[in-house]
Amino acid sequence: MDPRLRYAKRAACYVGYYTLGRHLPRHYAVGGRTGQRVRRFLVSRMIDEAGANVNIECGAWFGSGKGIRLGDRSDLGVDCLVMGSVTIGSDVMMGPRCVFISYDHNFSDVSRPMNHQGLVEDRPVVVEDDVWFGAGCIVLAGVRIGRGAIVAAGSVVTKDVAPYSIVGGNPAAVIRSRTPTHP
């Protein structure tokens, strides 16, 4: 496909999503199934990769969608914020108002204001398959969340999370493992 045509289609979906789709009802509200289908249609053409049967809830914000990948049957929760390079695996559940940020401000030069120093290099966020994020989680740049992990509501994840771990708090710490222990 001609790159200009691809860009034009992506731009049209961008306008459609941010003017209408983002404001349609949640999937479980009256008229929500239609809103869910409209959002899925628009977003699957905006982000770099969208798997089958993704669920984009109302209010989700992810800029232009560049650098974002969403696996099969995964959610972007109500009012979530996705900024930068973020890969979300398959079967990922997300509560409302979760935040994923893959970049940060540069602050290394103390002789200049931080807001004049730009951004540091993008450090992608990777979420493996079958992860559950409680409401209000924040996941910072460079973090990998392992398969089958659970991130408790309100947690701030600053370090990698091992597969099948349950983490919570600020900063998030391991609460326990989901795997059974053997004597």
DSSP string, 85-153: SEEE-SS-EE-TT-EEE---B----TTS-GGGS-BPPP--EEE-SS-EE-TT-EE-TT-EEPTT-EE-T
**Cα separation of 71 and 90, whole Å?**
4
Residues 6 or more apart whose Cβ sits within 8 Å of residue 138 = 98, 99, 101, 155, 156, 157
Question: 127 is written with which tokens?
Answer: 């979420």
Instruction: Find the catalytic residue in 23, 27, 105, 182.
Output: 105
Residue 182 appears among annotated catalytic residues: no
What residues have CB less than 8 Å from 106, skipping those under 6 apart?
114, 117, 118, 119, 120
- Annotated active-site positions, please? 105
